Structure 1
Amino acid sequence: MPTTPLRLARVITDPAGATGAGGRYTPALADYLTDLARLHGLRRRPDDFAGIARTTFTDLVRPLVTEVADAPTDLIVLAHVTPDAEPGWPASFLTGALPGDPLAFAVADQGVAAPFTALRIAAAYARADGLDRAVVVLLDQGTFLTAGPPPEVGAGLVALVLERDGTLGELSTRVVPGVPPPQARSVLASSLADFAGAVVTGSSLSPPPAASTGPQGPVGLPGTGLWRQLTDRLAGGGPVVLADYDPAARCLGICVVAPPPVAEPAP
């Protein structure tokens, strides 16, 4: 896997205020969402939205600005597994709020493989355009406007700040498409045949838990949960692999974070 020209400089998890409940839907937006639902055959009324306090992606990224505004940013790539809580423009908000007039993308519809694609986009632009800084923003939120019981998902943000002189590690990322579910673990194993270090996997690649009738665990964080472990894993000093698989998209994502080479002392 090719190494990204930009190294990992910081991992920011849930900046202050990022996961607090946002405001409620305005009457105008509730009317809009009701009409939108009707177009898709869903029976929703404006009153259905009156009691919902949602945290949008823009709510989540707003506190990130103060964390990364210390230097110009060239590129922003957002990645999310769940949809936003309302039609919004979090990428556009960041391009206007951060110094450097950054270019922005968003990656969706790849499930838990989306963060890996976001890192590959950042790497491709860094190679092509000689970028000095990119911020990859991973997002989760738990307000769903679809019919039926919503998934048990929480809200959260993890931002990976990539810079030329980042000291946390060099990144190598790969996305393998077209992997059938029964082969996901074997494809991962063959991809890591020569790797010696810690391997952290998502739930689709982990051994199934033992049957339990006990209480449910905490709400899930499909877009950020795996990446929240990165800081602690890097504290060990060795290379780390983060891997996840999305059965619906049939995509396997693999990211190797290796300690950067030690600079030789000047003669």
Structure 2
Amino acid sequence: MSLTLRGAAALVRPDGNAYERDEALLAYQRDLLAPYGIEVDEDLMKQSRNIGFRELAEELMDRCPSPFGTPDLLILAYGLPDRYPLKTVTTRLNALFGGGSRSFAVSENGLRAPFTALRIADAYARSGKAASLALFVCEQTTLPYRDPLVHDTPLLDSAVLLYFDTGTDTGYRLIASRAAGSDVPLGELLAGQRPALPPGPALLVAGPWPTDDQLGGLDLPVHRCQPGGYCTSVWLDLVRHHEEWATQYASLVLCDTDPRTGRSQVAVLSNADVPEIRKARL
């Protein structure tokens, strides 16, 4: 069984919350950073947006256009740490969904986290152990130290909710998710996906990080995501455009390259219900 996208919501928060001093959190951060010779910069935190994963995820649930039942799997994927790293956000979200999900987070993967989460969920679905997935991808920018990726890019506080199930063939379904080592260029990874693409028009959806010369491996039209997201970029644009793209493209190839590690990722979604494909079946 393949996971099919049933609903989605996106959130970008250019605003923020007032900084509230938390002595326990500051003590934890000092202990965590001291062995690396890094000092907590409370002034930087005061200038930040101070929005945590729980706030982002709960707002996404309110924005999702369709009501859904309790998902079999609930996964939170993130590349940057939460503002409150000791809070278990998936447990809270599980309770809001009814408390019946297998819930966990995928972290320490950088930009790869959402792609990794989809591979895990796909394995569950193909084994028959899960028929639905709520995937949250969250990114917040309040850190107790300066990070060039966050502060010099700069990044926005953003998040995505993608809800998949296996109960319908209508819509984009996940057919592949691939990772490459740091020594494998994105162009080579993309070229390897060409034989697996279903018939019909396809679109390459590229994050802001790969260089232009790496995007020619499939010889497809390219939708380039705007800067502002680290691990949320291609997923934000998938939410914004998937309904429009479903009328034009039989396949979407989502790709990005982690600027920290050089490792590239690809996910392929297929929609057999695109008008051109329907006509060919008649």
Q: TM-score, normalised by structure 1?
A: 0.79
Q: Specify every segment of 5 or more residues in structure 1 that has no aligned partner in the other structure, as ranges.
A: 209-217
CA distance in 2, matches of 1:194, 1:53: 42
CA distance in 1, matches of 2:84, 2:179: 31
Counting matched residue pairs gives 250
Q: Which amino acid aligns with 2:10?
A: T
Aligned to 1:185: 187
Runs of at least 4 residues off by over 6 Å:
none
Where do 1:26-45 residues align within 5 Å? 26-28=21-23, 29-44=25-40
Aligned to 1:57: 53
CA distance in 2, matches of 1:99, 1:79: 20
Q: TM-score, normalised by structure 2?
A: 0.75
Greater shift, 20-29 or 225-234, is seen at 20-29
Which secondary structure state, in structure 1, belongs to the residue aligned with residue 120 of structure 2? helix
Which secondary structure state, in structure 1, belongs to the residue aligned with residue 81 of structure 2? coil
- Rate the CA distance shift 1:82–1:46 in 2: closer, same or farther, 3 A: closer
**Which is richer in helix?**
2
Aligned to 2:254: 242
Which secondary structure state, in structure 2, belongs to the residue aligned with residue 257 of structure 1? strand
Aligned to 2:179: 176
- Rate the CA distance shift 1:34–1:172 in 2: closer, same or farther, 3 A: same
Q: Specify every segment of 5 or more residues in structure 2 that has no aligned partner in the other structure, as ranges.
A: 214-225
CA distance in 1, matches of 2:189, 2:42: 48
CA distance in 2, matches of 1:224, 1:45: 26
- Equivalent residues of 2:118, 2:177 under 8 A apart: no
Deviation of the 1:61 alpha carbon: 0.7
- Rate the CA distance shift 1:138–1:83 in 2: closer, same or farther, 3 A: same
Provide the identity percentage: 24
- Equivalent residues of 2:51, 2:83 under 8 A apart: yes
CA distance in 1, matches of 2:183, 2:268: 22
- Rate the CA distance shift 1:19–1:61 in 2: closer, same or farther, 3 A: farther
Deviation of the 1:45 alpha carbon: 6.3
Aligned to 1:106: 105
Which secondary structure state, in structure 2, belongs to the residue aligned with residue 161 of structure 1? strand
- Rate the CA distance shift 1:177–1:105 in 2: closer, same or farther, 3 A: farther
- Equivalent residues of 1:56, 1:86 under 8 A apart: yes
Per-residue CA deviation, residues 198-239 of structure 1 (Å, 9 max, x unaligned), is 11122343416xxxxxxxxx7611122112222243342422
